[in-house]
Copies of this chain bind each other. A is one copy, B any other.
Amino acid sequence: MDEAARVAMLARVLGSEVRAAGVELGIGDDAAVLQVAALGGERLVWTIDEQVEGTHFRREFASWRDIGWRSFMAAASDVAAMGARARAALCALVLPDDLDDAALEAIAMGQRDAADATGAPVIGGNLARGPVLSLATTVLGACSSRAVRRSGGMPGDGLWLAGDVGLAAAGLRAIEKGALGEARLAAAVEAWRRPRARLDDGLAMSAVAHAAVDVSDGLARDVGHMATASGVRIVFDEAALRADTALAAAAAALGVDALELALHGGEDYALVIASPRPVAGFRAIGAVTEGAGLALRSAGAERALEPRGFDHFAAR
């Protein structure tokens, strides 16, 4: 298909006649148009994320539809972490010559699935040719009052988690090993292939939490950003991190340490908040104290923890 035919196909799959709140003009013009009054908030929360073949995924590890879904959810998760509602998305696709029309349509179907699940339709984008597949997704959200930043954590806050951490990393290892028939790994594989932006949890915490991040590059690394931005020390509770039974089962099947996966595995898109009180849907995994850096508390003892995780540009 030429460019016009591809745009027409994408408009059909993604919904050329989008009737979401505030969408006045969708795919097919120079830009999309949104009505401000219908966005339902005084503030816009706006993010962009990009997934690149070979860096973020390999086509033999997930279906095209999964790849569309994952790339959308990775971007929407940033909106969840600010405590906002996702309203709409645009996607810029770079397509290599060996990606056929059926693959492009499947990617768009995965994006549509994710758009339906989040309530944020894809209302525009860009197509370009290039040597490697990439998907750049920008999501616009709205919130009625303040957005929850990384920087507001205070000594005395509890550290709370919504969702799994480490499970997606276990799933990726299972896929790499070809261990897809193992029942104890099924939830992990699903976690990697079909992560969910936790938008409802984000709304639930938005009026209470002092600080929030989503876990894309690993718990220690992302919460390390929160500790630095907030000027506090954050202490994880080892027993709490080991309490995830799906993670424990997957770690046992892989023969790896569940704690290592929980602290340093990424791509689960869990939410972590520093909050003075509990929030429904979140479980306690630690505490915020005075000081700096990260620590792990195990059986009463505490040791410092490196905020390592996924870094695209770490020394290599």
Contact = CB atoms under 8 A, between A and B. Distances in A.
Interface of A: 1-4, 6, 24-25, 28-37, 39, 41-52, 54-56, 78-79, 81-82, 84, 88, 90-92, 94-95, 123-132, 134, 136, 138, 140-142, 147, 149-151, 212-214, 229, 311-315
A312 B147 contact: no
A68 to B, nearest CB: 16
A315 B45 CA distance: 40
Contacts of A51: 128
A49 to B, nearest CB: 5
B130 A134 contact: yes
B81 A31 contact: yes
Nearest to A24: B43
Contacts of A124: 46-48
A206 to B, nearest CB: 13
Given A31-B84, A35-B42, 11 more contacts: A29-B151, A30-B213, A30-B214, A32-B47, A33-B43, A48-B124, A50-B92, A92-B138, A94-B134, A95-B312, A129-B313
With a 10 A CB-CB cut-off, give which of A33, A91, A132, A315 has the most chain B CB atoms.
Answer: A33
With a 10 A CB-CB cut-off, give which of A34, A140, A229, A313 has the most chain B CB atoms.
Answer: A313
Nearest to A92: B50
19 contacts: A2-B315, A4-B311, A24-B43, A29-B150, A30-B213, A31-B82, A32-B45, A34-B43, A35-B43, A36-B41, A48-B92, A49-B92, A90-B138, A95-B313, A127-B312, A129-B312, A129-B313, A130-B132, A132-B132
A150 B30 contact: yes
Copies per complex?
Answer: 2
Contacts of A95: 312-313
B150 A90 contact: no
A140 B46 contact: yes
A229 B29 CA distance: 9
A50 B82 contact: no
A308 to B, nearest CB: 11
With a 10 A CB-CB cut-off, give which of A42, A130, A315 has the most chain B CB atoms.
Answer: A130
Contacts of A4: 311
Nearest to A6: B313
A88 B36 CA distance: 16
A103 B178 CA distance: 40
Contacts of A78: 30-31
Task: Identify the 5 closest CB pairs spanning chains A and B, nearest first.
Answer: A136-B136, A31-B47, A52-B130, A129-B312, A50-B92
A47 to B, nearest CB: 4
Given A147-B25, A147-B31, A48 B125 contact: yes
A244 B4 CA distance: 30
B132 A313 contact: no
Contacts of A32: 45-47
B128 A82 contact: no
A231 to B, nearest CB: 14
Given A3-B312, A52-B94, A30 B47 contact: yes
